[in-house]
Amino acid sequence: MNVLGRFPSPHDAFRSSALRSPDAPFLIAPASAGLPYARDGFRLAYGTIAGEVEAARQVYARAGYGRGARVALLLDNRPEFFVHWLALNALGVSIVPINPDLRPEELAFQLTLADADLAVGLGERIAPLAGRADFAAFRPVELGAAIPDSRKTVTAQAGDLTAECALLFTSGSTGKPKGCILSNRYFLQVAQWYHGQGGIAALQPEGEVNLTPLPMFHMNALGCSAVGMMAQGGAVVPLDRFHASRWWASVAESGATVVHCLGVIPAILLQLPPSPDERRHKVRFAFAPGVDVRHRAAFEERYGIRIVDAWAMTETGGAAATTTARVPSGFGARCIGEPAAGMEYRIVDEQGGDVAAGQAGELLVRAAGAEPRAGFFSGYLDDPVATEEAWQGGWFHTGDFVRTGEDGLLYFFDRKKSIVRRSGENIAVLEVESVLQRQEGVRATAVTPVPDELRGEEVFAFIVADPDDITDKAAFAERIARASAALIAYHKLPGYVAFVTELPLSATRKLARGEIKQLAAKAVSEGTALDLRALKAGLRKH
C-alpha cells in the first residue's frame, strides 16, 4: 500500500477510511479486557469516531489552534485520545502524549520543553496538576471542559506532510529525555513500512484487527498500530496495559488478527497454565521485538502464532527499520532481520571505518537518495547541536552495535548509549544517577543495565554511601528507593543495589561504564546485590 502517496496526514488516512467504510469498526475493546472505564467493552465504528473528531476539530478551530501550537494529551489509550489527536492533527496542531507513570517533576520537564499551550486529560490525571501553581502555564483542562483560546502564533489551520504531528520523548545520553519532533510524513512512512513487511506480516486489504497493550506515547503503537490500521480501514484494540490473566480472552473475543507486544510478554504468557482461550484466537502473527530465542520457539509451538522481530528507533521510524517477517522460522538469537527498502546502512568501528563482515560495530543509517533524512525525525526539540551530532557525516548514528550474520541478516549485539532497555522502556542511566545522587547519605553512584529474564534488562545501581548511613544496608537501600520514587517513574528505580567504597574510573577519571556493567552482572549472578524488584513493583501503585 502506498500510504505516503495517498495521504498528507494521519487524519486524512483516517477520514478516507471513514468515508469509504463508515460502519467498519475502528476501536474495539471486549468486556474480557476488564477496562476500568469500559467494563462492558466497546465497538466504535469509523463513522461514529469521525463525527466526534469533526466536532472536536471545530471546537479547537474556534479557539484558534493550528500549526505552531502543541497540546499535551493525558488520555492514556482511551477512545478520547484518538478523537482529540485526529481533531488536532486535522488543524496541524502537534500532540504531546504523556506517560501516566511520570512524576510531577518529570512531567513538568516535558511540558516545559514542549512549551505546551494546553494540557487535556482525564479527571484523575488533570486534577493533581490543576491544583499546582507550577503547572498553571500549561493550562490543565479536564476532558469535556471548555477549551481556552490558543496563546500561540498560528500559521495555518491545516496540516501537510511536513507539519509536526507529535512530540515523543526518548532517552539519550544527556541524562534527560529528548523531545523528538515527528512529522506527518514520519508516521505515514512508519505505516508504509509496516504494510510493506510482507512474509508472515503481510496485511489483508481489509478486516485486520490490531491488538496492542503498548502506550500511545510510543511510536510502535501510534505509528504501526494506529496509523497502520487507519490507512487500510482496520481496527485497533487499544488495551490499557498488559494483563496476563485476561490476555488470551481479550485476544480471542476482540477478533484480533495481529497482536503487538514486547519481548517480556511472551515470557510471561508461557508461565500461564494451559487455557482453552489460548487457542481460540485468529491471530496470524505477533509483532514482538526482542523476544528471547528460547521463549520464541516455545511460544510459537504452544500458541500457534509466529513471532516477527524487528528493530527501529523513535528517531528512525520506518525510514530505517528492520524486520524478520520474510525470514524463515527458527532464525538465530538476536536476529533483527532485513533492512527496510530504501534504507542504507553501514556498520563501523570507533574510528568510523567499516568493520569486517561478521564483526560487530555501530549501526549508521540513512534514507537512500538525495534526502538522507527523509522520513526520520525532524530533530531534537531545542537541541540542534545534539541533532547534528547524531547526523555526523551524513549518517544517523544509532548508538546500537550490530553485526551481519553468514546468512546476510542483521543481528543485534549491544548498545553504545548508556541506557537500560526495560520492558521496552528506554531509561537514561544519567537521569537515574542524578536522582540517586540527591538522596541523603549518597556520595556517588553509577547505574547500569543488567540482564533480566522477563524484562530484558533491569536497572542496577552501585552506591558509595556515608559509612554512618549503611549500618543496615537493606534499610538504607529501601529508604533511597522510596525517596527516589517521588521524583522518577517506578520503572526507572533500581531493581538491584550494591554498596561499594569506590566506583571504577577510566584514565580520564570518567566512570568506566564497561567495567561497571560487568561488575553489576557478576553481583547479580553471585547474589551479592540487594534485590529491590519486589519493592519496586510495590512502588508502582503509589
Looking at 391-532, list the stretches that DSSP marks H as alpha helix, in order from N- to C-terminal side: 429-437, 473-484, 513-526
Looking at the predicted structure, is the pLDDT value of residue 172 above 70?
no
Q: What is the 3-state secondary structure (H, E, C) of 487-505?
A: CCCHHHCCCEEEECCCCCE
Segments of the chain assigned to CATH 3.30.300.30: 419-539
pLDDT at 507: 58
Taking 80 as the threshold, does the pLDDT of residue 479 lie above it?
A: yes
End-to-end CA distance of the chain: 45
Classify the C-alpha dihedral 248-253-255-259 as positive or negative: negative
Burial class (CB in 10 A: 0-12, 13-18, 19+), 45: middle
> Which positions ≥6 away from 361 have C-beta within 8 Å?
347, 348, 349, 354, 355, 401, 402, 403
Strands 118-121 and 70-74: parallel
What residues does CATH 2.30.38.10 cover in the chain?
Answer: 322-417
The answer for residues whose C-beta is within 8 angstroms of residue 353's C-beta and 6 or more apart is none
Give the contacts of 390 (CB within 8 A, at least 6 positions apart): 315, 380, 396, 397
**Residue 171 pLDDT grade (very low, low, confident, very high; cuts 50, 70, 90):** low
541 falls in which pLDDT band (50, 70, 90)? low
The SS3 call for residue 186 is helix
DSSP assigned state of 31? G
For the segment 173-230, what is each residue's pLDDT rounded down to a tens digit?
446 889 999 999 999 999 999 999 999 999 999 999 999 999 999 999 999 999 999 9
E strand segments, 160-232: 164-170, 178-183, 209-212
Q: Which three cell numbers stand for residue 111?
A: 511540558
Q: How far apart are CA 147 and CA 141, in angstroms?
A: 7
Identify the pLDDT of residue 508: 56
Contact call for residues 9 and 160 (beta carbons, < 8 A): yes
User: Which option is the CATH number for 3-308: 1.10.10.410, 1.10.30.50, 3.40.50.12780, 3.30.413.10?
Assistant: 3.40.50.12780
CA–CA gap between residue 30 and residue 38 (Å, rounded): 9
Compute the average pLDDT of residues 14-41. 97
Residue labelled with grid coordinates 553504545: 416
Could you please state the CATH topology (level 3) that the domain comprising 322-417 is classified under: Luciferase; domain 3 (2.30.38)
Buried b / exposed e over 185-224, threshold 16 CB at 10 Å, is: bbbbbbbbbbbbbebbbebeeeebbbbbbbbbbbbbbbbb
Does an H or E element contain 415, and which? strand 410-415
Q: Do the bridges between strand 285-287 and strand 306-308 make them parallel or antiparallel, or are there none, so unpaired?
A: parallel
**Is pLDDT above 70 for 40?**
yes
Most confident of 80-94, 172-186, 423-437: 80-94
Residue length, the chain? Answer: 542
Average pLDDT along the chain: 93
Instruction: State pLDDT tens for residues 104-134.
Output: 889 999 999 999 999 999 998 898 888 889 8
pTM of the model: 0.89
Integer angstrom CA distances of residue 220 from 212, 301, 370: 9, 26, 27
CA-CA distance, 458 to 397, in Å (whole number)? 25
What value does the mean pLDDT take over residues 365-388? 97
Averaged over 40-49, what is the pLDDT?
98
Least confident of 332-336, 365-369, 504-508: 504-508
pLDDT tens-place string over residues 236-265: 999 999 999 999 999 999 999 999 998 889
Backbone phi, then psi, for 534, in 5-degree steps? -65, -40
Contact at 8 Å (CB) between 379 and 181?
yes
Dist CA 122 CA 56 (whole Å): 16
Output DSSP code: residue 363: E
Does the structure show a pLDDT above 70 at 428?
yes
Residue 220 makes CB contacts below 8 A (sequence gap 6+) with: 212, 214, 260
pLDDT interval class at 1 (50, 70, 90): confident
The model's confidence at residue 386, banded by pLDDT at 50, 70 and 90, is: very high
Q: Would you tell me the crossing angle of helices 104-114 and 123-130 to the nearest 10 degrees? A: 90
Alpha-carbon separation of residue 307 from 215, 248, 334, 423 (angstroms):
20, 16, 13, 17
The mean per-residue pLDDT over the stretch 436-440 comes to 92
CATH 3.40.50.12780: which residues of the chain? Answer: 3-308
Give me the CATH topology for the region 419-539. GMP Synthetase; Chain A, domain 3 (3.30.300)
Grid cell, residue 410, equals 542483521
Long-range CB contacts for residues 194-198, cutoff 8 Å, separation at least 24: 194/223, 194/224, 194/228, 194/318, 195/1, 195/3, 195/228, 195/231, 195/232, 196/1, 196/340, 196/341, 197/308, 197/323, 197/325, 197/326, 198/325, 198/326
